Structure 1
Amino acid sequence: MDFDEVLEELGELGRFQLTNYILVCLPVFFSAANSLSYVFVAGTPDYRCRIEGCDDRISPDYSASWVNRAIPDLEYETGTANSKYVPSHCSMYLHDNATVGEGAFANNDTCPLNFSTESIVQCTEWVFDSRDWTIVGEWNLTCNSNLWKLSLIGTIHFAGIFCGSMFFGTLADRYGRKLMFIVSIMLMTAAGIGQVVSNSYDMFAVFVYLNAVGTAGIYPLAFIIGVELVGRRKRELCGIVLNYFYAVGEAFVALIAWWFGSWRMLQLAVSAPAAIFLCYYWFIPESVRWLLARSENRKAKDIVTKAARANKVVLSSRILESMENATNEDDHDSKKPPMRQMLAMALSSKVLVSRTVIMFYVWAATAFVYYGLSVNSTSLSGDKYWNFALVCLIEIPGCMMALFILPRFGRRISLVGTLMICSITCGAGAVIPTSVYWAAILLFLVGKLAITASFAVLYVYTAELFPTAIRSCVVGCSSTMSRVGAMIAPFAPLLGTVFPELPFICFAAAPFLAAILAIFLFPETKGRRLPETVKEAEAI
């Protein structure tokens, strides 16, 4: 049966659907927060060498007045000039050999030692800014030799997203959307709390992976549960609003990180409250479409009847009878060519193979820049919390931009245009002086706006370029390739240790190449019917 006919009588977005849609959007808020909490949890705080004989042993002051006499400017390590003095992380001036007793200093305001600015040595103990406590201070992941461990946390996170996407997608088809939705939320919550109680880097990394596996299942299952019960004219709106919850959830991370200044409290705040969603087992319905696909017609009818009562509508006897006697649509699909045969035909087509390979790169490049800009936002001049929040919230107009340009300019121009805007702004960001703070931030935000729109366009464009039998497979594989780009993104800030402009150069080069490939090798699909066969796809 056509469930959309049921929705026409039930109401496309009645009280029942709206209530359940809002309920499934709330966990998306927390999944978004967990997806980027590592940016601050594994962020690099302000820290400097501990000066024996000058720093108080119990409560050293990072900003003590004498520090500039004992420690060179951070420029010594980074090669980048600062507008004001910032202590080096791992270097200090060599001091004289005078013996300093326990009572040589009364507080952090004085330092009795003499330092030689001609001799610089490396230190083995550090003083951290107490306003920003991360895993760097927790396990002394200091200096350039440990930077890879911080970037690795982001890669482990996206590896978990990679695995979780496949894991929960498969299980949801077998055991139901609702059950796997709740399981993914509980796994995210439990693993998030596991991060909070971790007592070593290795233990923490394991829980980061498990937390990401759980996080990966929440957004797609919320999308399915929320959107499958609304009418076709409301699906586009519901799909976009879900992204708004996601963007606000990402920005929420900056607020909590700023408020608490502690990585444990941050992770606890974005993970523990989600435990309340266990009650969804009794409150939200299973996907009616999934129940009908499994011939569980009675359960599907009960949900639709309950929805009708909430929406205050009366369903016709024809609709109720059709739900009782509905058959699995897979029976009708058996007359179509098997997917394996269609896949073999697609692989024998040079057009579709080259199109697929290029699409994989475009997805990976887009994800690399999309997540790379979020991660790198805390490295910009100015307040890192404000920068991060802005970069996340700009995704909302980015999604609206995609909705505006797709029907007006077509798929290819929309994709190429947004990729080129991102490339140009990131390239300009590499040459803008850091002292021109407002210009750097503006370029950064325009780049994130454009790459967000690119992502939204890609989902539509990819589905329209391939035949029906392999469409879902290609979209799924393309999404998987985007995870590869996402796993590389956390190492973007590490490139800045080579020279500061390198991350922006990479963010400019990746979408530029993607745009060039798309403009010359992808056809326009606007206004065309979806291809059913390989020949129809080749003919686009």
Structure 2
Amino acid sequence: MGVFDTVLTTAGEFGPYQRRLYFVLCLLCVTVGVSAVVVIMVVAEPSHRCALPSYENDTYKIQDADHEGIVNLTIPTRLIRGVKVYDQCKIYTWPPENETRGMRSGDPRRESCKSWVYDKTHFESTAVSKLDMVCERSSLRSHVKMAFMLGKAIGVVVLSIFSDLFGRKKLIILSLALSVVSGFICAWVNETIPLCFALAFLGASNAGVYNSIFVIGMEVTGPSKRYYAGTVLDFFFALGECSVAGVGYLLRDRNLTITVLIIPNALLLPCLWLVPESPRWLLQNGRKKEALKTVQRLAKVNGKALEDKTVDMLEEEKEPKESILAVFKSWRVTWRFAFIFINWFAVSLMFYGLSLHSMDTLGNPYLNLFLFSLMEFPAYVLDMILLKFVGRRIVMCLAMCFGGFACISTIFPLLYGGQETATPVLALELVGKFGAAMAFTTLYTFTSELVPTTIRSRGIGASATFARIGGVVAPYIAHLEGYTDGPIGVALPMIFYGGLSIFAGLLNIFLPETKGKPMPETVEDLKTGLRSNPQERATNVEVQMSPLI
């Protein structure tokens, strides 16, 4: 156990001081959950059809019998499982010589249209309806989602460096302020390129806030309480996701919804004075007096007494350093890391793919988003229980395969379910999200215990990079359904998510079990099978970032 962990154990591992701090951190985590899925509200796609060129006040909703007659004459229809559906991208046109005094004759041409009307049942307006990101322009939706995920990927790297240089608290202030500015821009801008830049900055701020509050929370929490303290934040993250569905349902307008959701970020800025700088970071940067003051206050609030000579022993904990390139000196270790990276890519792809797809699923989009977010709560509870009694490798394999099979199984109700397919498809996708959420939180623990102490932070950082790549790719996988008609097209993204998830899950069979075993200290330990002292296991895990960033 390191010197600082020894002091924390004496001063109180999770006393009143940490609980007060966690109250603020959990509120901040709600805002992170909000901004993590707000992009879904921005690019939600309402039902639509081509606008009638000869009808001045055309609306998606049928106005009267005459309006219905013109729509039926002008808009092509097709039967989908026995239900007549208007084509969203095509319109009938007649040559001018075939139109006389409003009467049309001859065979019409089927052409792509240039303007649309949108169903306002669920959405008064979204960026899709404002910027016509449909039909031939539908790929813009994927680009906009990708911009958000790319911002998260860049933010994890760049802002983590900022955090190490200037402190955790400063990064929270910077990232939260950035989320307010970029969030308001996302709410009101109606140009594609500015919207992409705003979402990229919102994604970066999302990663920055979560990374900082997670690290601060872990660094002031005693070693035996860290896992549970970290998991608590995941619950509030899911609560933030659920709130987006509730506010969106009440307001139905992209501009107002995002504005209301971003306001709490601004209101929390003054509360950041309650958040101390991480004493570990202060020690690592030679600011021992400030670290000493923070630790003494922590002990005082927790009702503990620290001897001055004990506190004076606080100093930067030094660990042996190795290059992460050392893992490539052994094929056995290289393959182990390759399997870890594939799992991070696959679980992130499925988690964010299902989240981004939630409002495109059949049924009420707000209820769908709420249910997809709600599934994370039981996933985290079950994960906490299973990780305590069952091996990491088994839980990881089962969660990935369970979620993957559920995603692939959506093809069956789509092919054979007749007209009523919405409920079984939604149920299977929710099971997929359950598996993805459970696998995500398991994977972080598993990776922390597989990677040697000397390269743990860099190893987890590299893993998070592969996770972010999966998040960037996810919007384009979801867009695959636009390239194939029929049930196969609808199920294609789910088949891709599920197939890759099962493949990655089965790779865990070839990884060693870590439950109840000491953690490797060096890369050489991975080669020889030597491990650190089992008694040090609980205190060796230094949390660097959360899987949900």
The amino acid of 2:229's aligned partner reads C
Alignment partner of 1:371 is 2:345: no
- Which residue identity does 1:485 align to in structure 2? G
Q: Residue 213 of structure 1 aligns with which residue? A: 204
Flag the 1:453–1:117 CA change in 2: closer, same or farther, 3 A.
farther
Query: Which residue of 1 is the match for residue 364 of structure 2?
Result: 383
Measured in 1, the distance between the counterparts of 2:179 and 2:225 equals 30
Does the 8 Å contact 1:182/1:277 carry over to 2?
Answer: no
Question: Which deviates more from structure 2 when the two are superposed, residues 81-90 or residues 145-154?
Answer: 81-90
In structure 2, relative to structure 1, the CA distance for the partners of 1:430 and 1:142 (3 Å cut) is: same
Match of 2:526 among 509, 514, 537: 537
Task: Tell me the residue number matched to 2:512.
Answer: 523
Instruction: After TM superposition, give the deviation of residue 279 of structure 1 in Å.
Output: 1.3
Note if contact 1:94-1:115 (Cα within 8 Å) is conserved in structure 2. no
Q: Is the 8 A contact 2:42 2:186 kept in 1?
A: no
Matched positions, count: 513
Counterpart of 1:500? 490
Distance of 2:76 and 2:344 partners within structure 1: 39
Superposed, which structure 2 residues align to 1:429-468 within 5 Å?
429-433=410-414, 435-468=420-453
What is the alpha-carbon distance in structure 1 between the residues aligned to residue 475 and residue 164 of structure 2?
A: 32
Hey, what's the Cα distance between the residues in 1 that align with 2:206 and 2:286? Answer: 30
Q: Which residue of 1 aligns with 2:536?
A: none
* TM-score relative to the length of structure 2: 0.87
SS at match of 2:409: helix
1:164 aligns to what? 155
3-state SS in 2 of match to 1:48 = strand
Instruction: Determine if the alignment matches structure 1 residue 485 to structure 2 residue 485.
Output: no
Identical residues among aligned pairs (%): 26
Tell me, yes or no, if the aligned pair for 2:4 and 2:314 is still in contact at 8 Å: no
Give the corresponding residue for 1:89. Answer: 88
Q: Would you say the 8 A contact 1:492–1:503 is kept in 2?
A: yes
- CA drift of 1:55 comes to 4.3
More deviation, 299-308/468-477: 299-308
Instruction: State the match for 1:362 in structure 2.
Output: 343
Retained in 1: the 8 A contact 2:3–2:314?
A: no
Write the letter of the residue equivalent to 1:492. Answer: I
Selected match of 1:136 from 110, 124, 128? 128
Structure 1: segments with no counterpart, 5+ residues: 101-112
Q: 1: distance between equivalents of 2:364 and 2:104?
A: 34
1:393 aligned partner? 374
Tell me whether 1:321 sits opposite 2:309 in the alignment: yes
Using the TM superposition, give the Cα deviation of residue 400 of structure 1 relative to its aligned residue in structure 2, in angstroms. Answer: 1.6
Q: Distance in 2 between matches of 1:194 and 1:415?
A: 39
| Alpha-carbon spacing, 1:114–1:250, altered in 2? closer, same or farther (3 Å) | farther
Instruction: Give the aligned residue type for 1:502.
Output: L
Instruction: Give the gaps of 5 or more residues in structure 2.
Output: 530-549
Distance in 1 (alpha carbons) for counterparts of 2:310 and 2:130: 62
Secondary structure in 2 matching 1:496: helix
SS in 1 for 2:202: helix
Q: Give distance in 2, aligned partners of 1:283 and 1:452.
A: 31
For 1:512 and 1:314, the matched residues in 2 are separated by 50
Root-mean-square deviation (Å): 2.5
Counterpart code for 2:86: P
Task: Identify the match of residue 251 of structure 1 among 233, 238, 242.
Answer: 242
C-alpha distance in 2, partners of 1:470/1:182?
A: 29
Q: How does 1:48-447 map to 2 (within 5 A)?
A: 48-56=49-57, 60=59, 62-66=61-65, 68-71=68-71, 81=80, 84-94=83-93, 97-99=99-101, 119-131=109-121, 132=123, 133-143=125-135, 145-311=136-302, 313-316=303-306, 318=307, 320-330=308-318, 333=319, 336=320, 338-340=321-323, 343-433=324-414, 435-447=420-432
Deviations 1:194-248 (A, max 9, x none): 2234241111111111111111111111111123222223222211110011111
| CA distance in 1: counterparts of 2:368 and 2:168, whole angstroms | 36
The Cα of 1:529 is off from its aligned counterpart by: 1.0
Task: Give the TM-score taking structure 1 as reference length.
Answer: 0.88
Q: In structure 2, give the amino acid aligned to 1:139.
A: L
Tell me if structure 2 keeps the 8 A contact 1:402–1:453. yes
CA 1:281–1:450: 2 relative to 1, 3 Å: closer
Can you list the C-alpha shifts for 1:28-50, whole angstroms capped at 9, x where unaligned? 21122112111121121122222
In structure 1, distance between residues paired with 2:492 and 2:74: 19
Amino acid at match of 1:246: F
Q: CA deviation at 1:418?
A: 1.0
Residue 106 of structure 1 corresponds to none
SS in 2 for 1:120: strand
